[in-house]
Structure 1
């Protein structure tokens, strides 16, 4: 599947998939979006409730959320990422202009799947190529979920009550799921799965986002 590198409004880069007419991140700012949705609304919320963070990301993509999490927390993190369609190394090499970030991105991208890797004494990660709708998830394992898949228009099969209930079961009480998407169908599916759902102000270029908490 062809992917094109696009510079976004905040100077950071993302990917565009012409066949799907879909960007990996917001063209209004890839880093700005990830910081707002996943770090500020998700990670900061989870840090208040848990001593360590077991984190599940749906859609590793370019690895941006992983790198920002590594940079922005002092907590011990165990990061699980589901990504059925890993990127080619040649794309990764052109996404990050900082040399250290570029080397880290390549390291994460080429790391063996289904095996834990340690980036720092406080941060470990594992990549899996499973799709969330068929993956076997542990019960009450995760404190935080980044739901960063392609939009419902592109991947309707994973924005469902069934998938959200599966994620709900995999989360600790008081754990949190955050996503950039605020569509009514998505909000209702999260509520039907058992979550307490709230709308929050969105990142640049987007009016709202969603945060869902397991009570």
Structure 2
């Protein structure tokens, strides 16, 4: 599976372990719990006041879990999201489906996740009335954004595992 294997986490969800980086994509204490706490509660929901449109950039899109949760919460709040996810080493659909997220997420969130996983990386894809995803399979270090984002999910591996993502340069 491309040097990736599924690892169970303490909250009943799973994550991927990367042989390349010798690291998991999410916390082994709970992939779903981590995504909800760090990216949704402390990030997305924290900026929603008086916003009807939000541009989100995720650096390290990985399993698409943060994207699906963002789309699901956006729908609940009636906020339109354009989500740009950057991933240099995207897991295959087969690998992503092996995580079992479709079975642990709320039904509507699981449907979004499946659409996000299946979305093309060629152009932006509207996966719901509230959520459009753009996947960029590029190296973030050499990438130049073409507009401003309201929120950035910096979801790279830890500095010890991926130091080039954490330097000033």
TM-score, normalising length: structure 1: 0.69
Is the strand fraction higher in 1 or 2?
1
**Conserved? CA contact 1:70–1:123, under 8 Å:** yes
**Conserved? CA contact 1:93–1:102, under 8 Å:** no
- Indicate the residue corresponding to 1:89 in structure 2: 93
- Indicate the residue corresponding to 2:133 in structure 1: 125
CA distances 1:121-170 after superposition (whole Å, capped 9, x unpaired): 1110100011111112124x1000000011111211111233xxxxxxxx
- What displacement does 1:103 show? 5.7
Q: Which SS does the other structure have where 1:125 is aligned?
A: strand
Structure 1 unaligned runs (5+)?
163-215
Q: What is the aligned-residue RMSD (CA, Å)?
A: 1.9
The answer as to 2:65 corresponding to 1:57 is no
RCO comparison, higher one (Cα < 8 Å, 6+): 2
User: CA 1:120–1:102 in structure 2 vs 1: closer, same or farther (change >3 Å)?
Assistant: closer
Structure 2 unaligned runs (5+)?
none
Runs of 4+ in 1 over 4 A off after TM superposition: 99-104
- Structure showing greater Rg: 1
**Conserved? CA contact 2:63–2:96, under 8 Å:** yes
- Indicate the residue corresponding to 1:176 in structure 2: none
User: CA 1:49–1:104 in structure 2 vs 1: closer, same or farther (change >3 Å)?
Assistant: closer
